[in-house]
Chain A
Amino acid sequence: MGPDGYVEPVSTVIKTDGLTKRFPGVTALDRLTVEVEPGVVGLVGANGAGKSTLIKILLGLSPATEGTGQVLGLDIATQGPAIRERVGYMPEHDCLPPDVSATEFVVHMARMSGLPASAARERTADTLRHVGLYEERYRPMGGYSTGMKQRVKLAQALVHDPQLVLLDEPTNGLDPVGRDEMLGLIRRIHADFGISVLVTTHLLGELERTCDHLVVIDGGKLLRSSSTASFTGTTQLLAVEVTDHPVDRAFDADAVLTERLTAAGLSVRGDGSRILLVELTGDDTYDTVRDAVDDLGLGLVRLEQRRHRVAEIFSTRSDEDADEYGHEHGHAGADAHRAAAAGGEQA
């Protein structure tokens, strides 16, 4: 470790070996062994699966009952302070005092991470701009929307330029647009900022396009840890959506287009709504779709690349079980649980 507080780049960001955490009467983590490479990693599990416990242990705030672990090559049991200097943490719950402005708050948090006063101010201005907070950063945070609050929470985790950020449920409480923006930001944290990300969620679906690697845990046990590509298969799909025929109302645009594309040797299926999923075999697939749509005189609403959805891979569990669970925990919990349970069957 150099005097400037940096460590050499490491090939594994997080590594645990038989990590176990027992509370009186509960085993929160059960012999968890994972290895995570730099990138965006999703930690997926239902509420109470042990995600927050794992984050606390990784930060060196709570000792593990058994097992060992390293963060950025530093031992969690003995090098907690060094880890906390290099890691950023965005908690799940609200953590912003309402009577302070975002700028003041983030400057203070930067100094708490060891940045000198002038650097703290400079980094705060930069970071708030990167997360998309502009003039409003001088106003007290009590008046912020949920989306703005999430951005400030993210900014305080990034302000000291950590090598790894731990984001606990960053999309909680956001509307679909805010959620997409947050996921885009998370992607940028790694792609543009060069910071590795561990992001937790109980919603499996939303992470599949954001993460390079997914770790699924349930009841403190590891169900699966592998790259998103291997979860979703390597085949890419093209989502196609077209308008109805401008003149002929009875004309079933989707059916005719499906027929046309199948005839051209492509595999096509619907996703239940108006979107057709076309298997992407190469760049000429785009041309084939464009020409077919043009030929039929239709308008092209959507043409985008997609992976197979992770949820499809997990959707083998019977619906009755999912319903039963859904009544108790709501739809979101049911999704994750079903996904996790199905993963268990595969494991």
Chain B
Amino acid sequence: MTTRSDAHGGVIHDIGYRPYTGPRLGRRYATRSLYVQSLRAAFGLGRSGRSKVLPFLLLGGMAAPALVMLAIALFAHLDRMPKDYVDYLASFSVLPQIFLAAQAPVLMSRDLRHHVVPLYFSRPATRGDYVAAKFAAMFSALMIVLALPLLLLFTGAMLAKFPVGDNLLHLLYGLVAAVLYALVYTALGLLIAAATPRRGFGVAAIMGVLMISFALANLTYALNGGFNPARTSSSWAFLISPSASVEALVNRLFDLSTDDFSALHAPTGAGAAVFLAVLLALTAGGYALTLRRYRNV
């Protein structure tokens, strides 16, 4: 083979082309690699230092109050945590929402904007695999953000020697809520992010949908006499907002925060079933539409 001396000043000895004879791990491995890469990208890992700031700030912001509560529970000798697990997620729900709005476009819009998508589809993984990997990655990232404070609260409860069984049960309620939040957020966030190659539009649209729907749900609730304890039918208004739906469903399902005036509750009777059906339909619908989005890319 030739040697090449070039502008870099050195001589590079070209040892010639070596064919690859090792294993080719195929489609499932490729899908898994895309999942890992996307999950890392959701936290800015493998990208520039600047892109790590926001996701870790949000993760920290989500965990910090739980740490404070842990400390209070330990040193102030309380008999229970200042906030219950599900209530904690409802109180700080805006942080995972910002995380979704900021990072869903990182997973979807970037590939569209820089036309990387055709490179994926010219490889063994299919369009379906692509959407599945991205969905799993966003879901996992949100679960980390949602579950970390719950685990901190549980750790605090155990250190302060609160009853194990009760806390374990309520941790489980919290995790159910986290899964529901993560599912419906991911489905909506990815669908919106996949609609535009512009990251800014994606961020604004996701935040807008979540915020406005939440405001509308509360407004409708209030206008229909929601604050009159006798009229539980006004709670159907929570269906307008995905985040309010999750909170209302979980509170009703596990009979939580019944004495808390500010906590949302789904209507009694068929309410819980309808809320669950709506949330699952929203998730499935978002996923199906995202899949459809990539059919002709």
Report yes or no: A5 in contact with B30, Cβ–Cβ below 8 A: no
Which of B17-25, B215-223, B247-255, B267-275 sits within the interface? B17-25
- The distance in angstroms between the C-alpha atoms of A130 and B110, with both chains bound, is 28
The chain B residue sitting closest to A97, CB to CB, is B114
- Minimum CB–CB distance from B42 to chain A (whole Å) comes to 15
**CB 8 Å contact bits of A84-107 with B (1 = contact, 0 = none):** 110101010111111110001000
Q: Given A114-B25, A114-B26, A115-B24, are A97 and B12 neighbors across the interface (CB < 8 Å)?
A: no
Report yes or no: B30 in contact with A111, Cβ–Cβ below 8 A: yes
Report yes or no: B124 in contact with A114, Cβ–Cβ below 8 A: yes
Q: Given A134-B12, A160-B24, are A193 and B17 neighbors across the interface (CB < 8 Å)?
A: yes
Report yes or no: B17 in contact with A130, Cβ–Cβ below 8 A: yes
- The distance in angstroms between the C-alpha atoms of A109 and B126, with both chains bound, is 14
The chain A residue sitting closest to B47, CB to CB, is A99
**What residues on A are CB-neighbors of B161 within 8 Å?**
none
The chain A residue sitting closest to B111, CB to CB, is A97
Q: Given A97-B110, A134-B12, A161-B19, are A113 and B30 neighbors across the interface (CB < 8 Å)?
A: yes
**What residues on B are CB-neighbors of A4 within 8 Å?**
21-24
Report yes or no: A61 in contact with B122, Cβ–Cβ below 8 A: yes
Report yes or no: B24 in contact with A95, Cβ–Cβ below 8 A: no
| Chain B, interface SS category | loop
The chain A residue sitting closest to B121, CB to CB, is A61
Report yes or no: B22 in contact with A112, Cβ–Cβ below 8 A: no
- The distance in angstroms between the C-alpha atoms of A194 and B21, with both chains bound, is 14
Report yes or no: B115 in contact with A112, Cβ–Cβ below 8 A: no
**What residues on A are CB-neighbors of B110 within 8 Å?**
97
- Minimum CB–CB distance from B136 to chain A (whole Å) comes to 16
Counting CB contacts under 8 A, is B119 at the interface? yes
With an 8 Å Cβ cutoff, the count of chain A residues facing the other chain is 42
**What residues on B are CB-neighbors of A140 within 8 Å?**
48
- B residues 107-131 with Cβ under 8 Å of A? 110, 114-116, 118-126
- Minimum CB–CB distance from A312 to chain B (whole Å) comes to 33
Report yes or no: B120 in contact with A93, Cβ–Cβ below 8 A: no
Counting CB contacts under 8 A, is A330 at the interface? no
Q: Given A95-B118, A108-B37, A129-B12, are A84 and B123 neighbors across the interface (CB < 8 Å)?
A: yes
Report yes or no: A96 in contact with B30, Cβ–Cβ below 8 A: no
- A residues 192-208 with Cβ under 8 Å of B? 192-194
Q: Given A95-B115, A112-B30, A115-B22, are A84 and B122 neighbors across the interface (CB < 8 Å)?
A: yes
Contact pick for B114, options A61, A95, A119, A161, CB 8 Å: A95
**CB 8 Å contact bits of B139-178 with A (1 = contact, 0 = none):** 0000000000000000000000000000000000000000
**CB 8 Å contact bits of B67-106 with A (1 = contact, 0 = none):** 0000000000000000000000000000000000000000
Counting CB contacts under 8 A, is B34 at the interface? yes
**CB 8 Å contact bits of B20-57 with A (1 = contact, 0 = none):** 11111111011001100100000000111001000000
Counting CB contacts under 8 A, is A70 at the interface? no
19 A-B contacts (beta carbon < 8 Å)? A5-B26, A81-B124, A89-B119, A91-B119, A104-B46, A111-B37, A112-B34, A112-B120, A113-B30, A114-B23, A114-B29, A115-B25, A116-B23, A116-B25, A126-B17, A129-B12, A130-B14, A156-B119, A194-B17
